[in-house]
Amino acid sequence: MNISPSKLISLLFFIFSGFFLYTAHQIEVFAFDEGAAFNAKTFPIYLGYAGLVFSALFIILPETNPTNVDLKVLDYKKTVGLVILMILYGITILRAGYFLSTSIFLVLSYIVLGERKWIWIFLLSFPFVAIFMYLLHGLLNIYLRDPFLKFIGIMG
């Protein structure tokens, strides 16, 4: 039996809604609120049921407008590469500081996407981030924590 990717996603959503409904029932409300017409778990419970109903309908009913995606033409390598870089960016942003982690993220992203014009790669990373930081920190007064720049004495 073949199941379309959209139906598979709906099946996953059905399971997720079931889990959501179960978790909604587990929400502990105050004792005096237990029998109230509306408490903290009322709305989530309705949402759980709504999720089950809509996903079940999609699974049962025929697909009117099936989406065909040619999986062979998708660029998994670059997409996964970018996602990994973003995760690394998230890990390093607080430790290495905004300037260094952002600049390195940009440089590596350009390279992952196949860019090899080194002057532009440089200009659109370190100097670009420095100007952006100046705009945020210097002009808009938005604080940016940066241990690296603090360490080298550029930022207070």
Partner 1 sequence: MIEGILIGLDTALSLKNLMMVMIGCFSGTIIGMLPGLGPMTAIALMIPITYGFDPATGLILMAGVYYGAVFGGSTSSILINAPGVPGTVATSFDGYPMAQQGKAGKALAIAAYSSFAGGTISAIFLLIAAPSLSLVSLSFRSPDYFGLMILGLTAVAAFSSKGNFLKAMMMVVLGLMLASVGQDTLSDIPRFTFNNMNLSDGISFVLVVMATFAMSEALTIIFKANDPTRAAKQVSLSQLGSIKLDKVETKKMLTTIPRSSVLGFIIGVLPGAGATIASFLAYGMERNFVNDEEKQKFGKGSVNGIAAPETANNAACSGSFVPLLTLGIPGSGTTAVMLGALLGFGIQPGPRLYQTNPEIFWSVIMSMYIGMVVLLILNLPLIPYIARVLATPRTFLIPLILFFSVTGVYLMSFNNFDIYMMIGIAVVATILRLYDFPMPPLILAFVLGGLMEENLRRSLLLSDGSWTFLWDRPLTLIIMLTILFIVGWQIYKSFLKK
Looking at 27-154, list the stretches that DSSP marks H as alpha helix, in order from N- to C-terminal side.
42-60, 76-95, 98-112, 118-123, 126-133, 147-151
Dihedral angle, C-alpha 9, 11, 14, 15, nearest 10 °: -100
Q: Does 27 bind partner 1 (CB under 8 A)?
A: yes
98 CB-near residues (< 8 Å, 6+ apart): 129, 133, 144, 145, 146
CB of 154 to partner 1, least distance (A): 19
Q: Does 13 bind partner 1 (CB under 8 A)?
A: yes
Q: Does 17 bind partner 1 (CB under 8 A)?
A: yes
Q: Does 28 bind partner 1 (CB under 8 A)?
A: yes
Segment (H or E) for 12: helix 5-26
Q: Which of residues 122-141 bind partner 1 (CB under 8 A)?
A: 124, 132, 136, 140-141
Task: Write each residue from 79 to 98 as x if it is in contact with partner 1 (CB under 8 A), else as -, in one continuous string.
Answer: x--xx--xx-xxx-xx---x
**Number of residues forming the site for partner 1 (CB under 8 A):** 71
CB of 151 to partner 1, least distance (A): 18
Q: Does 31 bind partner 1 (CB under 8 A)?
A: no
- Alpha carbon 10 to its chain centroid, in Å, reads 20
